[in-house]
């Protein structure tokens, strides 16, 4: 186990050390201590590392992640796992706004609550939130899955494309073109898989599925005169 | 983009530590606001029949002693002056209205930065570290403090345009965001007798809250009314003589985080400003919800009509 003290090394020092691990290295387990809420910790990793951040992380933690597994033992600030491509980011506490924004792949797990705009413009990532999400979550979500075990705030899935949303609790309101959809066996199966991967114990049958009504982003020939 | 931070102490024995605890918070917000910085500190209150007025001069060599003497002579009052860099805090038994009128006539070049029984306000153009050093923030004591680091968007980079803004009665405000209805609201408030020194949007919010306090509302009621009357993006951290409150607009796109321990309540734009506080790693930490008022101290007391 290699330990990096962020208070001593700074964010650049920590990230440079993690990014410099050679492809064939056996030194894959790393711990970052005293993160001090600094931004961009563990950004731009592209190796099968296991990075544990002991404490609260600032904005954009684990951004652009490829292949690495990053665990934040604490809360994460704005834009955790922003634009993640693959791998996993796991937050044991809460996450601030725009968690998993624009992420293309991988798995983002937030054991606590996520704030507003969770999964905004998500493009293929799977997001599992143990608690609740704030307003405007999954705004313009394009693909991937978002699982919310608690409640969702106002305007869930506004202007959603083809992302699939599962919510266990109450939805305060649905955004434009987002509707409740039938939970079919394949959805229950996928949801069970995601919950298991996230290590969260919840009954898939207690969830509802939401997705796009496909009236907003598809061209309708009856509207041709409007253009 | 701006940075704001506030610290409210729950234990009186920590009062002597306030400046020392807050200084790293303000400096940590430098990236969000390197243009100017300022802070309002709620220190030792003056007697009921006296007021504290913080003044600022652009002239570093301004003769504060002469001002003190002239004031005492003209208004027949007692004045105790504490000079800190280009600011001075006047502790006087003169009436606030008389004092303001006299200053307006005799020293229009001086800015009244704040007034009340408890608050002292210091703000200056420059890096937060330099501003903190100039005023000796690290050695200051008090019960609570709110501060701001500014990256100007709505008005010029001047000391007058830096935060915090105060328009009277110990009320003080720092703001991250921008208001969209401040011009109309300023005109309305001017008709109600609220005076403004700048074209800044945040000063209008401070003026609005002062006006509502004068109308007899409590701090909590003032903030509830603000949700209806202030339009724009905002995260506010507000101080009164005995109160400390945080409010975000209904969209809540301006960052904010709150943390609380048995010893203190801290608010900042980003958690990294709170991280250096003793006990931050085990504090209860949460993000203030949109349109929800978070208040500590005497947020339910009516300050009422003064003057």
The fold of the A2-226 domain, in CATH, is Pectate Lyase C-like (2.160.20)
CATH number at residue B284: 3.60.20.10
CATH number at residue B57: 3.30.70
d(CA B148, CA B4): 4
Strands (E), chain A: 2-5, 29-33, 50-54, 69-73, 88-91, 107-110, 123-129, 143-148, 164-167, 178-181, 208-212
B125 domain residue, yes or no: no
Tell me if chain B has a CB within 8 Å of the CB of A41: no
The verdict on a CB contact (< 8 Å) between B252 and A55 is: no
Do the Cβ atoms of A119 and A163 come closer than 8 Å? Answer: yes
Q: Best interface-test mutation with A: which of B27, B271, B284, B290 has the largest number of A CBs within 10 A?
A: B271
Residue B303 has pLDDT above 80, yes or no: no
The verdict on a CB contact (< 8 Å) between B270 and A135 is: no
The verdict on a CB contact (< 8 Å) between B271 and A115 is: no
Residue A226 — pLDDT band, cuts 50, 70, 90? confident
Q: What is the pLDDT of residue A224?
A: 79
Residue B183 — pLDDT band, cuts 50, 70, 90? very high
With contacts defined as CB-CB under 8 Å, which chain B residues touch A116? 252-253, 290
Q: What is the pLDDT of residue B304?
A: 57
Helix (H) or strand (E) holding B65: helix B64-75
Residue B195 — pLDDT band, cuts 50, 70, 90? confident
B175 and B237 together in one domain? yes
With contacts defined as CB-CB under 8 Å, which chain A residues touch B273? 37
Mean per-residue pLDDT, A16-26: 94
Instruction: For residue A58, give the nearest of B272, B276, B286 by CB distance.
Output: B272
B158 and B250 together in one domain? yes
B32 and B77 together in one domain? no
Instruction: For residue B287, give the nearest of A59, A74, A115 by CB distance.
Output: A115
The verdict on a CB contact (< 8 Å) between B271 and A78 is: no
Tell me if chain A has a CB within 8 Å of the CB of B287: yes
Digit-coded pLDDT (tens) for A32-43: 999 999 999 999
Residue B306 — pLDDT band, cuts 50, 70, 90? very low
B228 and B101 together in one domain? no
Nearest-CA distance from B148 to chain A in Å? 19
Catalytic annotation present for B2: yes
B126 domain residue, yes or no: no
B204 and B82 together in one domain? no
Residue A55 — pLDDT band, cuts 50, 70, 90? very high
The tally of domains found in chain B comes to 2
Task: Write the DSSP string, B96-147.
Answer: HHHHHHHHHHH-TTSEEEEEESSEEEEEEES-HHHHHHHHTGGG---SEEEE
B224 and B265 together in one domain? yes
B184 and B243 together in one domain? yes
B13 and B140 together in one domain? yes
Residue B307 — pLDDT band, cuts 50, 70, 90? very low
Tell me if chain A has a CB within 8 Å of the CB of B1: no
Tell me if chain A has a CB within 8 Å of the CB of B290: yes
Do the Cβ atoms of B25 and B266 come closer than 8 Å? Answer: yes
B56 and B24 together in one domain? no
Mean per-residue pLDDT, A72-91: 98
Tell me if chain B has a CB within 8 Å of the CB of A58: yes
**What is the pairing mode between strands B232-239 and B243-248?**
antiparallel
Digit-coded pLDDT (tens) for B246-271: 999 999 989 999 999 999 999 999 99
Tell me if chain B has a CB within 8 Å of the CB of A97: yes
Residue B302 has pLDDT above 50, yes or no: yes
B103 domain residue, yes or no: yes
Digit-coded pLDDT (tens) for B1-60: 799 999 999 999 999 999 999 999 999 999 999 999 999 999 999 999 999 999 999 998
Nearest CA in chain B to A96: B287
B111 domain residue, yes or no: yes
B183 domain residue, yes or no: yes
The verdict on a CB contact (< 8 Å) between B270 and A37 is: yes
Tell me if chain B has a CB within 8 Å of the CB of A59: yes
B40 and B55 together in one domain? no
Residue A47 has pLDDT above 90, yes or no: yes
B249 domain residue, yes or no: yes
Helix, coil or strand: residue A85 = coil
B144 and B265 together in one domain? yes
Q: What is the pLDDT of residue B298?
A: 82
CB pairs under 8 A between A and B: 46
With contacts defined as CB-CB under 8 Å, which chain B residues touch A77? 257, 270-271
Residue B154 — pLDDT band, cuts 50, 70, 90? low
Residue B305 has pLDDT above 60, yes or no: no
B213 and B64 together in one domain? no
B254 domain residue, yes or no: yes
Percent of chain A with pLDDT over 90: 93
Nearest CA in chain A to B29: A38
Digit-coded pLDDT (tens) for A139-170: 999 999 999 999 999 999 999 999 999 999 99
Encode burial over A89-99: b for 16+ CB neighbours within 10 A, e otherwise.
Answer: bbbbbbbbbbb
d(CA A193, CA A188): 9
Residue B244 has pLDDT above 50, yes or no: yes
B130 domain residue, yes or no: no
Q: What is the pLDDT of residue B269?
A: 97
Structural tokens at position B254 = 């301006």
Nearest-CA distance from A218 to chain B in Å? 28
Do the Cβ atoms of A165 and A148 come closer than 8 Å? Answer: yes
Residue B68 has pLDDT above 60, yes or no: yes
Beta bridge partners of B115: B53
Query: For residue B53, what are the domain limits?
Result: 46-117
Q: Which of B54, B232, B223, B41 is nearest to B148 (CA)?
A: B41
């Amino acid at each position: 186990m290699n330990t990096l003290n962020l208070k001593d090394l700074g964010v650049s020092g920590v990230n440079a050390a993690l990014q410099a691990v050679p492809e064939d290295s056996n030194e894959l387990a790393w711990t970052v201590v005293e993160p001090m809420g600094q931004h961009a910790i563990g950004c731009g990793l592209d190796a099968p590392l296991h990075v544990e951040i002991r404490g609260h992380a600032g904005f954009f933690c684990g951004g652009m992640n490829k292949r690495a597994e990053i665990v934040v033992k604490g809360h994460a600030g704005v834009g955790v796992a922003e634009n993640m491509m693959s791998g996993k980011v796991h937050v044991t506490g809460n996450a601030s706004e725009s968690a998993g924004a624009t992420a293309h792949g991988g798995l983002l797990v937030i054991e606590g609550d996520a704030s507003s705009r969770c999964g905004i413009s998500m493009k293929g990532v799977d997001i599992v939130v143990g608690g609740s999400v704030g307003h405007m979550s999954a705004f313009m979500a394009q693909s991937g899955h978002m699982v919310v075990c608690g409640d969702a705030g106002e305007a869930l899935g506004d202007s959603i494309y083809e992302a699939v949303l599962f919510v266990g609790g109450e939805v305060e309101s649905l955004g434009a073109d987002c509707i409740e959809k039938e939970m079919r066996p394949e959805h229950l199966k996928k949801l069970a898989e995601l919950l298991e991967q996230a290590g969260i114990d919840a009954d898939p049958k207690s969830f509802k599925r939401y997705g796009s009504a496909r009236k907003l982003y598809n061209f309708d020939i009856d509207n041709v005169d409007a253009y | 983009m701006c940075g704001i931070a506030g610290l409210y102490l729950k234990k009186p024995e920590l009062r002597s530590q306030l400046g020392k605890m807050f200084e790293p918070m303000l400096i940590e917000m430098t990236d969000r606001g390197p243009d100017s910085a300022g802070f309002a500190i709620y220190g030792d209150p003056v007697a009921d029949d006296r007021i504290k007025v913080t003044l600022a001069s652009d002239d570093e060599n301004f003769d504060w002693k002469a001002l003190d003497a002239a004031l005492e002579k003209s208004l027949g009052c007692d004045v105790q002056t504490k000079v800190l860099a280009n600011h001075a805090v006047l502790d006087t038994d003169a009436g606030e209205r008389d004092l303001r009128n006299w200053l307006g006539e005799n020293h229009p070049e001086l800015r009244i930065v704040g007034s009340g029984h408890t608050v002292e306000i210091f703000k200056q153009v420059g890096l937060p570290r330099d501003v903190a050093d100039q005023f000796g923030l690290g050695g200051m004591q008090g019960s609570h403090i709110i501060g701001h680091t500014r990256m100007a968007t709505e008005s010029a980079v001047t000391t007058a345009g830096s935060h915090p803004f105060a328009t009277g009665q110990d009320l003080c405000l720092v703001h991250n965001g921008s208001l969209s209805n401040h011009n109309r609201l300023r005109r309305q408030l001017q008709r109600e007798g609220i005076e403004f020194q700048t074209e800044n949007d945040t000063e209008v919010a401070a003026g609005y809250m002062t006006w509502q306090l004068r109308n007899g509302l409590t701090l909590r009621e003032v903030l509830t009314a603000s949700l209806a009357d202030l339009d724009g993006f905002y995260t506010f951290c507000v101080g009164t003589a005995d109160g400390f409150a945080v409010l975000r607009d209904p969209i809540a796109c301006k960052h904010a985080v709150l943390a609380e321990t048995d010893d203190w309540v801290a608010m900042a734009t980003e958690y990294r400003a709170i991280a250096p506080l003793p006990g931050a790693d085990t504090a209860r930490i949460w993000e203030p919800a949109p349109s929800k008022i978070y208040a500590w101290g005497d947020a339910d007391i009516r300050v009422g009509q003064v003057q």
